[in-house]
Structure 1
């Protein structure tokens, strides 16, 4: 089977099962609620309605990009999970056997999964942006604050957000190829994204020198690629954040390392 047909087959697998749209619904609910709630709190404070002049944000111009970046800063676990499931579902349900029979070149199968992951990641990125930007812009507009939707910088942030989602899906595919067990892979993803890295990044604000290391963590690199993050309010590290292109390169390196490791140590092994 050719690469084009293998990719079409992978896309068919993704969009004819319920997993992708279930995760999409949860993503919309999660980032949408977070965006609306945080937008109200920050806009209420910044507008002076709370009875103080300091607020949570240093400048009202920072509010829009901060809120729009929630799509990745709190929602990046979803493309990571979908990427992991693209591979581990096949190991769990043993559908890789007929896949490899149809396409004996296993490298072609993995490349097809990566190609389909780019499309799925872009789709999830757009969905996350709609769910995040809609409530946030509505709240900002309601308080008479700038939504920055007419700014080229804002649209560049949107483009980098979609790119970050694509890279997270590719990282997930690499993890899924490396860790065959679906439950183990999901536990690892959730533990790292929801506990290990957030704790490390908060701790970096209190431990000298730690922030120079944590800025290279995947979540921090993703925030740098997007160009804004809610972590700017919760961390006080002294190290300069990566530039947007450095963050993108860091995420790409993570994806390449996991995919290569998965291909070498797991993908070429016999399927149980």
Structure 2
């Protein structure tokens, strides 16, 4: 098993994609965190104190920018780890070297864990590096002496890491790389935000929004732009993590029973 895991890690490291997506994520999260801090703080000041977001809540919202909007990068990378084998037709070689496909699938998941942690830490670091100066510049303070800030940053890293593992699950389910990447981008960036906004205006269905994957990821961090603005409630952190990983587990189980066990030519 260890040999299979090392082989999967080498497959990831031999391409530039892992660090290219990592840098893109860091840049995106930094821009999002800095822009959100300045726009919200300065906009609230201009509109009047009664409309301003409390400084502590604003800081937590800024530091969770990656979990709210930047998670498309780790989930896409997780899917690519699996689907690149099918796109470049190297899956045949992998199963010839290790005929037990269960080991191949598990090795891919385990090999992704260190990269998932790296993406999670980098996301929180980017949000902190860009968000703290922006908050200080806006006059509300970076809230770095508040334990809740560091809790949000730490749990935000966990949430981003979990998103990459979810991506592995969906890559196992939909082995067509273009289809799964386009589908994930459409869902995370367009469909789910619109669904959550719509459900927020329908009292009877509003609780359902908490169980959507994006909301589950935000629940791990404990806050988000949606919850801060009152558009969506969140589950407890532990429940959010279970729901989020559950999506990946269900997708992986279905993919294992279907595409991963098909005959290959």
Same fold (TM over 0.5): yes
Bigger helix fraction: 2
SS in structure 2 at match of 1:163? helix
Displacement, 1:51?
6.3
Q: Which moved more, 1:146-155 or 1:200-209?
A: 146-155
Displacement, 1:119?
1.1
Residue 270 (str. 1) matches residue 263 (str. 2): yes
1:199-218 aligned within 5 A: 199-218=194-213
Displacement, 1:141?
2.1
Q: Contact 1:204–1:235 (CA<8 Å) still a contact in 2?
A: no
Cα distance in 1 for residues equivalent to 2:175 and 2:248? 17
Residue 53 (str. 1) matches residue 49 (str. 2): yes
TM superposition score normalised by structure 1: 0.92
Q: Contact 2:42–2:138 (CA<8 Å) still a contact in 1?
A: yes
Displacement, 1:45?
4.0
Cα distance in 2 for residues equivalent to 1:155 and 1:270? 48
Unaligned runs of 5+ in 1: none
Cα distance in 2 for residues equivalent to 1:26 and 1:196? 22
- 1:63 alignment partner in structure 2: 58
Select which of 136, 139, 150 maps to 2:134: 139
Q: Which moved more, 1:138-147 or 1:80-89?
A: 138-147
Unaligned runs of 5+ in 2: none
Show structure 1 runs of 4+ deviating over 3 A.
Answer: 233-237
* Residues matched between the structures, number: 265
| CA distances 1:74-111 after superposition (whole Å, capped 9, x unpaired) | 01111110011001111000111111111111111111
SS in structure 2 at match of 1:204? helix
| CA distances 1:153-212 after superposition (whole Å, capped 9, x unpaired) | 222222211221222111111111111111111121111111211110010121222211
Cα root mean square deviation, aligned: 1.6
Q: Contact 2:83–2:172 (CA<8 Å) still a contact in 1?
A: yes
